[in-house]
Amino acid sequence: GQQVMQIPQYQHVQEGEDFTTYCNSSTTLSNIQWYKQRPGGHPVFLIQLVKSGEVKKQKRLTFQFGEAKKNSSLHITATQTTDVGTYFCADFTSGTYKYIFGTGTRLKVLA
Amino acid sequence: NAGVTQTPKFRILKIGQSMTLQCAQDMNHNYMYWYRQDPGMGLKLIYYSVGAGITDKGEVPNGYNVSRSTTEDFPLRLELAAPSQTSVYFCASSGQVNYGYTFGSGTRLTVV
């Protein structure tokens, strides 16, 4: 079945450093969503990418969809302690009504 | 609006017991989902519903049942609880099939 992998699994950065997580699939990605889950919390929707090569920004966060729709990435510029959490991508399963979530990248920011 | 409300927040079950996890949303969303998240892991889809009276299995449905008699409510039933069902359960809803999900705050279930 469809699998959505994220790398890295964990990342520790010093506050102020940049951070990037990548989302890859065994099949062509359809429609990517990104979520953030704070420790002990629930996932919160961040953004959706639909078109190949699409780039969207939210303040220090930049989201990108690969030209071939094989991967997606989330880049955080100058991390802050408030960025701590796990970032998940989710791919829409064509022909169904559901998203499959990636394995997640856990980010720790050291002050 | 309350969004997606899950009850209870915490529960400890003994092996073989049954329980129902409640999920309600007040956004008139047709699409609702149940996920489980094991410690340090990702989200696995248990069941989902595209509207009242319509449900379907996700990736890990064994040991669970659902019903959707109204648009607002989507309860998840655990029969004969097993330690492998120890997890955090999240309910989510969406207004359209490919819109972002709104998640509830979760139910932390321990089976001993």
Q: How many angstroms separate the CA atoms of A69 and A53, rounded?
A: 8
Provide the mean pLDDT of chain B: 95
Q: How many angstroms separate the CA atoms of B46 and B64, rounded?
A: 8
Cα distances (Å, whole numbers) of residue B17 to B6, B65, B83, B85, B87: 20, 14, 11, 12, 16
Q: How many angstroms separate the CA atoms of A71 and A104, rounded?
A: 14
The DSSP-derived string for chain A is: ---EEEE-SEEEEETT--EEEEEEESS---SEEEEEE-TTS-EEEEEEE-STT-EEEETTEEEEE-TTSSEEEEEESS--GGG-EEEEEEEE-TTSS-EEE---EEEEEE-
The reply to whether residue A42 touches residue B56, judged by beta carbons under 8 angstroms, is no
Which B-chain residues 14-73 have CB contacts (< 8 A) with chain A?
31, 33, 35, 40-45, 48, 50, 56, 58-59
Q: Which residue of A lies nearest to B105 if distances are taken between CA atoms?
A: A42
B85 vs A98, residue with greater confidence: B85
Q: How far is B106 from chain A (nearest CA, A)?
A: 7
Q: How many angstroms separate the CA atoms of B88 and B108, rounded?
A: 4
- Say whether B17 sits in a helix, a strand or coil: coil
Average pLDDT over residues A50-77: 96
Nearest to B44 by CA among B100, B92, B99, B112: B92
Confidence label for A10 from pLDDT (cuts 50, 70 and 90): very high
Confidence label for A1 from pLDDT (cuts 50, 70 and 90): low
- What pLDDT score was predicted for residue A49? 95
Average pLDDT over residues A80-96: 91
Cβ within 8 Å of residue B98, ≥6 positions away: A31, A48, A92
Of A41, A98, A106, the CB nearest to B45: A98
Is A97's pLDDT higher than 80?
Answer: no
Is A25's pLDDT higher than 90?
Answer: no
> Please, how many CA atoms are within 13 Å of residue A69, restricted to the half-sphere of its CB?
12
- For residues B82 and B111, the answer to whether their CB atoms sit within 8 Å is yes
| pLDDT tens-digit series, residues B5-23 | 999 999 999 999 999 999 9
| pLDDT tens-digit series, residues B28-80 | 999 999 999 998 889 999 999 999 999 999 989 999 999 999 999 999 999 99
Provide the mean pLDDT of chain A: 93
Q: What are the residues facing B69 on neighbouring strands?
A: none
- What pLDDT score was predicted for residue A3? 80
